[in-house]
Amino acid sequence: MKGTYFLGNKRFETREIPERELAPDEVLLKVAACGVCGTDIHIYHGSKGSAEVTPPVILGHEFSGIVEKIGSAVDKVAVGDHVTVDPNRYCGKCHYCGIGKKQMCENLFAIGVNRDGGFAEYCYVPQSQCYKLDKSVPLEYGAMAEPLACCLHGLDRLRMRQGDTVCVIGGGAIGLMMVQLARLSGASSVVLSEPVQLRREIGLSLGADYAVDPINESLPQRLREILGTDGADVVIECVGNLTATGQAFEAAKRGATILLFSVPKAGSFYQLSLDDVFHKELTILGSMINPDTHERAAQLINSGRIDLKPIITHRYPVDQVEEAILMQMSNESIKVIVGN
């Protein structure tokens, strides 16, 4: 069994994974596909993930596979099942777990962040983290369940109303899923702001009513032309840089809700106009990982009501994780998958 270990300082090494006995509640998963996430990029550059990273560790927290072996107490899945993995586990004992905000858990740990994950041929996974996929569903779609689950939590936070107008900032994998979820949630109009032409075209094919190039067009002006108002009811920022943050505030009409969904670079600060927050009566939200939404994501993927095929653009073998991360950082890709 091979896996590619992150050693810190932008270094990786493919090694044999030590075999061990399964714990009673564990499964051995033959990994089929693992997505490269923006969190992996942050870790590659030396930042923490959802939890502290201590190399050497196998990264990769967006993954799916086939159950190869099961522990003596496993009763949720069986050998041969296709599953997607929720990487995040919580202590259940701290203050935040106790008040129903386990995504803020003081002892959070995550498979593929501070426990060996999916950039490998096989992975040991607690059965509690496994969710079944229909065998008719491509396994690489199952690798998209974790980011989709995070998107669902963000949408839950927004509490969108039927008929709201929505502007999505950024047409990467997250933005393109948000476009579809906004449509499924009853948005009357969905506008995608994205500078890369291919991503705009894919966004339109996935349900965006309009796509704006914010480099060569004025986003506020185009929103006035498209929506007939001074912005959108709901703005979802999915990029993670200060330019996109600024565009999100420009796109917000009076009374709008802004979801700053993306993972920002550590130490990022945005100079906010408090006068705008007051006079426009803005609601500004954040969103952290995927508490209690992974099963819904798996059900949505099984239903076929969200289209993931055009979002996955590049695939790499397990011994080329660094190359996969570098491709995920480029504008050539949308979603990069590491697979066996």
Residues annotated as catalytic (active site), given as ranges:
39, 42
The token pair at 219 is 């986003």
> Is residue 250 within 8 Å of 220, Cβ to Cβ?
yes
What is the Cα–Cα distance from 8 to 35, expressed in whole angstroms? 20
- Per-position DSSP letters for 87-135, written without gaps between them: -EE--S-SHHHHTT-GGG-TT-EEBTTTB--SSBSEEEEEGGGEEEE-T
Q: What does the radius of gyration of the chain's CA atoms come to, in whole angstroms? A: 20
Pairing mode, strands 26-35 and 62-70: antiparallel
Quick check: 258 and 248 in contact, CB under 8 A? yes
Instruction: Answer whether 31's CB lies under 8 Å from 65's CB.
Output: yes
- Residue 182 DSSP one-character state: H
